[in-house]
Structure 1
Amino acid sequence: MRLAAIIFLVLFIGLFVAPSFVLSENVGGNKEEVDVLNQQIAEKKAKIKQIEESIAAYKKKIDQKRLEAVSLSNQVAIIDNRVSQVELDIQATKEKLESLTLEINALTLGIEDKEKVISKQKRILAELIRAYHEQDGKNYLEIAAAYANFSDFYGQVQYLQTVQNDLTLSVNSLRDARQELEDKKKQTEDRKKSYAVLNEELVQKKNDLNEQAGLKQSLLVQTYSSELKFKTLLANLKDQYQAVESEVTSIEREVRKKLESQKQLETEGDSSAKLSWPTQSRYITASFYDPDYPFRYVFEHPGIDIRAAQGTAIKAVASGYVARAKKCSLGSCYSYIMLVHADGLSTVYGHTSSIVVSEDKFVTRGDIIGYTGGTPGTAGAGPFVTGPHLHFETRKNGIPVNPLNYLVRDW
């Protein structure tokens, strides 16, 4: 078999089996800069770890305070620790953003190096192909006849074998370099997406910080820094919560009984197996039975709080009947909407600033039923608020259940 044919076969297979590549890390003119960036990234990660350890320490302090008797000084201490925790969380997020920026810069330099290596490998491959064509069509007898002695002939054979080996190495190197290049480009895009997510988190955490500071101020103003007034406030808040809870439970039971007797939920209600989100926002500031809920000393949190600017449209998460549409004109009054759905499910939308549906009316999934509130002191916000948001509950046969087990995961 002719050696040239072997060379051609190696080249042919290599080119079609290996379509993509990237250069090795130790090749390229940006290596020193990349090394410096990698060192800076390592330092950032070490700093982030230290901050996260401090955050954990504050969380431990908060947990310890929760075990103590409920008092004004105790609640203020918890809020102060939360403020410190959120401040560190913001600092950690900023460090993560800076680390991602460094990673993107390092990847960009790496991509430049890979592209240079690819260009170089292409030139090498072109030279090898040229060498192949120069020897194309010659067999060993023709090569031997062209040389006066065996030594020269043997040298030429060795040269052809070297060309063959170099072709194989060059094709493999080109393939690997292209793959690395594609990997780095994907990593860069992933880092940019992570940067955007973290940047949004930073904005939300700054809002968290403002809310915690506002909560402390509100608590001190309402109690005049008096433990006695705090106990009175606590008793009043518990009474208000129990009144709302009793109202929601009794009305839901009465309306469902009425609708079931008329078989209206069966004929008009859609399946509530998966609920749509009530707002555009998906940012949750307080989870179901959240241990960090700021009013946990009054009651357990029976739903989720979704951050939403004052006046954001609220949509029905599933078709159903408006069981309650409680409107309030005072900031101390809790305004809410309750919908009764099929399958024993009901939903509650709290701290509404405006309600646009009427009781005993049927609404379809996606219909606007009201607008969010929650800014302290505004109409319908109620006493249990730190900032604008929607309080959202799901209840199964009247009992609060985790909304995240029902809401569709569309983010």
Structure 2
Amino acid sequence: MGTRFWGKFWLMGAIGAIALFGFFNSGQASTVEELQKNIEQKNQEIKKLEEEAKKYRDEIVTQKRAQTTLKGELSRIENNIKKLRGDIVLTERKIQRAGLEIDTLKLEIREKEIAVNKLKQGLGGLIQIISESEQQSLLEILVRNSLLSDFFRQLDYAALTEKKILGSLDDLRVLQKELTIKKAQAEDKKDELENLQDSLQDRKKIQDSVKRDKDQLLKETKNQETRYQALLRETERKEEEILREMEELENELRKRVDPESLPQRRERFLLWPAEGLLSQEYGETPFTRGRGRDFYKFHNGIDISASVGTPILAADSGMVLAVGDTDRYCRRGAYGKYIVLDHKNNLATMYAHMSLIKVTTGQEVKRGDIIGYMGSTGLSTGPHLHFTLYDARTVEIRLGPKGTCGLLPFGGSINPLLYL
């Protein structure tokens, strides 16, 4: 009688433990529910902020060229500052959402781990019962049970136990798989959070830089229209000098390009380096033809216009050949903040007029890495990326003949649209 009682006790306890594996603590479930409500609230805030950001982006794109009056230029700069301020708030909300999502995943992982442990305990009890029953022959079981009904009941318990073990093993596999997925999701969210935190710091730096540009403009013009017009004329003079110098050198370097030894031209060979509007194409363009001058008749890259702070991506994997900032030597001249990447396949890419550079010379980058952010540094009429594709064997990082803008990239250019 005692043996039958304890056998049943162990069996029902083990089965009960297995039944409990899907039960989640009501307090934890409530916490997960609260976190999910907070996440949804952040989603609504982010959606609203993204709509506002789009409105600013659209306004900035329509104002992409430098204004011909001081009031217009200050208005354009102020719109960039407002847009960056909105980007900062938006990124902060995304950081908060990512934090809530990580907390939710932590709770869900804990619940899965508790369920796995309960299931393992239940399986242990069931395996012990089966082990004990296998040590007895059917004859011994029959002798120990005075009633034939008890004998058959014990056989039913054994069959039920085996069935439960098989079912529990399937449940355990499912739980383990779900636990692995949740842990992978948590790691992805941690990476996302880290990237957002980096992005937040970058955007604050860009905002500070644009504010300094505004202060510098006010200092140079003393908030007077006549001084601004004089500044525009001086900028145009620099533009003529620099562009004439660059065009003469690059006309010769283009003759060294060997198309036969370059990668085969095909769409998407290179990644588009930034989101935005293709505002000027390669070669002779309406812009180069419409200036009525005898120089700068050839645009050595493409221009992609968007707002200040738009991420710029490496068009392909490679090594950073050079970084520079021509504004340190000739303010509002040449490429401003620029990067040159060598892709180790006879192609090199150049990214110019950036607001912030994220890489250093000699650094290896992967296709799609954020290497910087769009800006309007150097000889620029508004926020855009100037993107040039070179035959890497022709690239020279050197002083121009007059050396007025420091080290500059020169090379034999190729139409980027053949590879994008």
Instruction: Please tell me the TM-score bracket, short chain as reference.
Output: 0.5 to 0.7
Cα distance, 1:236–1:195 mapped onto 2, change above 3 Å: same
Out of 71, 78, 92, the residue aligned to residue 73 of structure 1 is: 71
Cα distance, 1:115–1:61 mapped onto 2, change above 3 Å: same
SS of equivalent to 2:389: strand
Cα distance, 1:111–1:343 mapped onto 2, change above 3 Å: closer
8 A contact 2:66–2:73 mirrored in 1: no
Any residues of structure 2 matched to 1:178-217 within 5 Å, and which?
178-217=176-215
CA drift of 1:120 comes to 1.2
**2:171 equivalent in structure 1:** 173
1:48 alignment partner AA = I
CA drift of 1:89 comes to 0.8
1:183 alignment partner AA = I
CA shift digits 1:108-147 (9 cap, x unpaired): 2222222222221111001111111222166767655654
Cα distance, 1:90–1:329 mapped onto 2, change above 3 Å: closer
Q: Distance in 2 between matches of 1:338 and 1:39?
A: 44
**2:52 equivalent in structure 1:** 54
**1:9 equivalent in structure 2:** none
**1:104 equivalent in structure 2:** 102
| 1:394 has 2:389 as partner | yes
8 A contact 2:235–2:332 mirrored in 1: no
1:55 alignment partner AA = A
8 A contact 1:25–1:110 mirrored in 2: no
Q: Distance in 2 between matches of 1:179 and 1:206?
A: 41
Is there any run of 5+ residues in structure 1 with no aligned partner, and where? 1-22, 275-283, 308-313, 318-325, 352-364, 368-380, 407-411
8 A contact 1:348–1:392 mirrored in 2: yes
Any residues of structure 2 matched to 1:217-256 within 5 Å, and which?
217-254=215-252
Any residues of structure 2 matched to 1:131-146 within 5 Å, and which?
131-136=129-134, 143=141
**2:87 equivalent in structure 1:** 89
Out of 37, 45, 56, the residue aligned to residue 35 of structure 2 is: 37
CA drift of 1:208 comes to 1.6
Count of aligned positions: 319
Identity of aligned residues (%): 25
2:50 alignment partner AA = E
Q: Distance in 2 between matches of 1:343 and 1:177?
A: 47
Cα distance, 1:136–1:170 mapped onto 2, change above 3 Å: same
CA shift digits 1:158-188 (9 cap, x unpaired): 3223212211222122111211221121111
CA drift of 1:198 comes to 1.0
CA RMSD in angstroms comes to: 5.0
**2:113 equivalent in structure 1:** 115
8 A contact 2:108–2:182 mirrored in 1: yes
CA drift of 1:74 comes to 2.6
* TM-score for both structures, normalised by structure 2: 0.59
CA drift of 1:202 comes to 0.8
Any residues of structure 2 matched to 1:15-30 within 5 Å, and which?
26=24, 30=28
SS of equivalent to 1:211: helix
CA shift digits 1:169-227 (9 cap, x unpaired): 22122111211221121111111111111111111111121122223223333334344
2:32 alignment partner AA = V
CA drift of 1:384 comes to 5.2
Cα distance, 1:338–1:30 mapped onto 2, change above 3 Å: closer
Q: Distance in 1 between matches of 2:133 and 2:26?
A: 33
2:163 alignment partner AA = N
2:40 alignment partner AA = A
* TM-score for both structures, normalised by structure 1: 0.60
Out of 120, 128, 131, the residue aligned to residue 130 of structure 1 is: 128
2:250 alignment partner AA = E
1:394 alignment partner AA = L
8 A contact 1:28–1:116 mirrored in 2: no
Q: Distance in 2 between matches of 1:90 and 1:30?
A: 33
Q: Distance in 2 between matches of 1:111 and 1:334?
A: 54
1:213 alignment partner AA = K
1:121 alignment partner AA = L
